[in-house]
Structure 1
Amino acid sequence: MKTWTKTACALAILAISQTAYAEEAPQSQRELFNQAYSQYKEAIAERKNFNAVKFAKQSYLLGKVLYKDSPKDLAALTVNYATSLSNIRQSDKKKRKVTHKKAKALFDEALTIYQGIKPAQTTAIIDTHLKKAKVMPTTGGTKDEIEKALELAEKNGDEVFVAKVKMLAFDTLNRGKYTRHLRGLTIEALDTFQEKLPENAIDRVMAEFNVARIYQDEKKSNKAEKLYLNVIKQFDTLDYSHPFKLGAHSRLISIYEKRGDSDKSTEHCIAIGKMKPWQEDQDPVPLYRTALDYPTNYAMLGKEGHVVLSFTISKSGTVKDIEVLQSEGGRKFEKSAKKMLAEWRYAPKFENGEAVDAKNMKIRLDFTLG
């Protein structure tokens, strides 16, 4: 299997040339640009979206001077600024609308620049259309941008290339919920990969993972299970822990626990424990959790409270030896908290290559009426 390269990277890498500075630009402007662009990349790596917007804007404004004779680089800076705006999460609908409108205008600006460059910047234009789709105010507008990207792909590539663009659309626009249009494109892409590519081709395996997610969300667990198992099988040939392999193990735990098949779930809990060994100061996160059952009569009375529990994570990732350390609100909160925690699954702790019990774990569970 080839070394993993994300589909988006294969289609469009909008990198800034290190040699494209205008010679006549003042040294201070070059230094300011270098600093702003470095801070932008750092903000992206750290997922600090508001910082990314700030430094992407600075890079863009300085780039209008420094890269006025290098349209490809100027277009890339424009896309960076627009993309950083589109990545901001805003609960206020009016503010989000204004932000998306600004991002859309910048994407249009970048498309105008790209379309004037020879030779044609097909992959960059496709990438920009898909990113623009994310900020369109209507579902129809989003679909139109996807179709523009696909039309370009069909003119300039074979079936596999078109399928890669469909998967790039999924990667760019996936927000945890799938429109019927996006779902259809993703499954079409997998059909193409399964027909045209070998079983261990990275694009095919990544598509299998994403389609499995769709099937799992649609409660088609048998279809999802089959695809997740094949993802694990293919990545077992690699000598490092791939995030899709980890994700497949984690999602299979949820499928098996909901079926009541804890033995199969255990296999994948142990696999994750081997892939991601515990750190000494680690606060373990459950791989599978059930919802807290709020006692009905307490809720009717408006009672709130909390429970602090100690417990052990067994060698198979189950929870045992649950004890109440402290609680407030009533015994029914304690009973509900213990029942829920007993159903959770964790990755077991490994020492010297062997799974061991992780004792003296602690968790606080809050019962609040929102």
Structure 2
Amino acid sequence: MKVTPSRLAVGLALITAGCFSQAYGASVTDSYKQYQIASAQGDVQQALVYAKAAFEQGQTAYAQEPENRLNLNYNLALAYANAGNTEQAIEQFNNVVEQSESVFGKHHLRTVAAKLELAKLYTSPDNGLRQSTAIHKYKQISRELLDGLDEASAAHPDDAAQLYYLVVTRLLSTNTPLIANSGAINIVERGFALAITHWGEQDTRTLDQAFILGKRLFSSRDFSKAALYLNTVATTLDNHLAYSHPWSLQAHAMLSACYEQNGNAQLAAYHSDKIQQMTPWSEHQDPLPLMRQSPGYPHGADRKRDDATVTVSFDLNEKGEVVNASIVNIDGSRYFGDSALEAVKQWRYAPQIKDGQAVAATGLTVNVDFAGQSFYALNNIDWELGYHRRDDLFDSAAYRVVKKDSAK
């Protein structure tokens, strides 16, 4: 299965929703049809209205068909989530999980998919729960899924590759401290091996896990092993796409750092140049963040874990390297300034593209946040509980762009 741009665009949400495919046939209600139409048109409020109606009608129409009732409940939970009604979505997804365990079992693919949706909802700031409660529930579900992967794959061997893929990409794609990094690496390695067997080396699900594995090995400073997986990602995407995919560019950024750490200046320069020589997917592109060195807490502040925000301005050269970085403002202790500045200087971007060519970019500004206890991240959840070192994370919500025309 070759990699294509359309395959790379397929989201995990579609895969997860596919676990609850509908099978109503001729008995499908008009409300469900209207729900499908509204969902396809992106009208989330109308979709919710019809999902409610279909669910209520289905309690009678499918009284003896638990699977169809489960599907309707899943639609309702998803409609609440899409409409931004997080509290109601959590309530309904809890019902879905309970029903799915009853109908299919604790480790079935449908049950796992529903639990992942529920875990995701607990990362939303508007879930109606105290943050400590949300953290606890998120961790409880996530660790249960991670701990149960071997048992789930043994119970459902035909779905083993998909089970690992769903859990790995939802829970281990960032350096979240759910489990030790060594344990996470072991899980991703098993998922990657299953993906190779079931889908082949060039399937996007295989590459996705190779990319996660490469990033985690990189953060653990196992640069030689990280390079093996990152090269797989970069080479496959470069060879099969007519443009430079963001995964490939990130892989090249990390590969440059890997070879620099291992003393191979020639290969480090090669991968750095690949970023400057990128084939853009648009004639005009803003700079794209590839690798961001997370700032460490300055000496003394690490004990209190105080919050602080440092505003840093910088330029990018044609290679996407940070130049001319300087502190604009510090909201908090001045000791955070040097730490933020040194981190930003290590960042790497895909360069700005104008008329299809890489050019320098000036006047970029970001906020670097130091969060003392916990914060919500953009992708999955990135909890900081007490002292937890964050090495190289990617696309973290710790970096908020201030200006709309600056780096995203």
TM bucket, shorter chain: 0.5 to 0.7
Residues 1:233 and 2:235 aligned together: yes
Q: Which residue of 1 aligns with 2:95?
A: 105
Q: Which residue of 1 aligns with 2:74?
A: 79
Q: CA deviation at 1:32?
A: 5.9
> RMSD of the TM alignment (CA)?
5.4
Structure 1 spans left out of the alignment, 5+ residues: 44-49, 116-123
Q: CA deviation at 1:38?
A: 4.8
How do residues 123-272 of structure 1 correspond to structure 2 at under 5 angstroms? 126-134=108-116, 137=140, 141-142=144-145, 146=149, 149-154=152-157, 157=158, 162-174=160-172, 176-177=176-177, 179=179, 183-194=185-196, 199-240=201-242, 242=245, 244-252=247-255, 255=258, 263=269, 266-270=272-276
Q: Which residue of 1 aligns with 2:130?
A: none
- Give the match's secondary structure for 1:350: strand
- Give the match's secondary structure for 2:318: coil
- Give the match's secondary structure for 1:190: helix
Cα separation, 2, equivalents of 1:174 and 1:34: 32
Cα separation, 1, equivalents of 2:23 and 2:309: 58
Structure 2 spans left out of the alignment, 5+ residues: 120-136, 373-408
- Give the match's secondary structure for 1:288: strand
Residues 1:9 and 2:15 aligned together: yes
Q: CA deviation at 1:233?
A: 0.9
Aligned 8 A contact 1:163 1:188 in 2: no
Q: Which residue of 1 aligns with 2:279?
A: 274
Aligned 8 A contact 1:315 1:356 in 2: yes
Identity %: 17
| AA of the residue aligned to 2:279 | K
| AA of the residue aligned to 2:214 | A
Cα separation, 2, equivalents of 1:145 and 1:87: 28
Residues 1:317 and 2:324 aligned together: no
Cα separation, 2, equivalents of 1:6 and 1:201: 14
Q: CA deviation at 1:317?
A: 1.5
Q: Which residue of 2 aligns with 1:354?
A: 357
1:190-233 deviations in whole A, cap 9, x for unaligned? 33555677543544433322322332343322211210111111
1:113-132 deviations in whole A, cap 9, x for unaligned? 568xxxxxxxx983223135
Task: After superposing the two structures, state which structure 1 stretch, 60-69 or 183-192, moved more.
Answer: 60-69
How do residues 335-354 of structure 1 correspond to structure 2 at under 5 angstroms? 341-354=344-357
Aligned 8 A contact 2:290 2:350 in 1: yes
Q: Which residue of 1 aligns with 2:390?
A: none
| AA of the residue aligned to 1:358 | A
Larger relative helix fraction = 1
TM-score relative to the length of structure 2: 0.57
- Give the match's secondary structure for 2:348: coil
| Closer/same/farther in 2, CA of residues 153 and 276 from structure 1, 3 Å limit | same
| Closer/same/farther in 2, CA of residues 179 and 68 from structure 1, 3 Å limit | same
Residues 1:291 and 2:287 aligned together: no
TM-score relative to the length of structure 1: 0.62
Which has the higher Rg, Structure 1 or Structure 2?
1
| Closer/same/farther in 2, CA of residues 173 and 132 from structure 1, 3 Å limit | farther
| Closer/same/farther in 2, CA of residues 220 and 34 from structure 1, 3 Å limit | same
Cα separation, 2, equivalents of 1:125 and 1:239: 36
| Closer/same/farther in 2, CA of residues 206 and 294 from structure 1, 3 Å limit | closer
Q: CA deviation at 1:321?
A: 4.4
Q: Which residue of 1 aligns with 2:132?
A: none
Aligned 8 A contact 1:33 1:58 in 2: no
1:146-187 deviations in whole A, cap 9, x for unaligned? 456323423xx3xxx533433233234437345477654432
Greater relative contact order: 1 or 2 (C-alpha under 8 angstroms, separation 6 or more)? 2
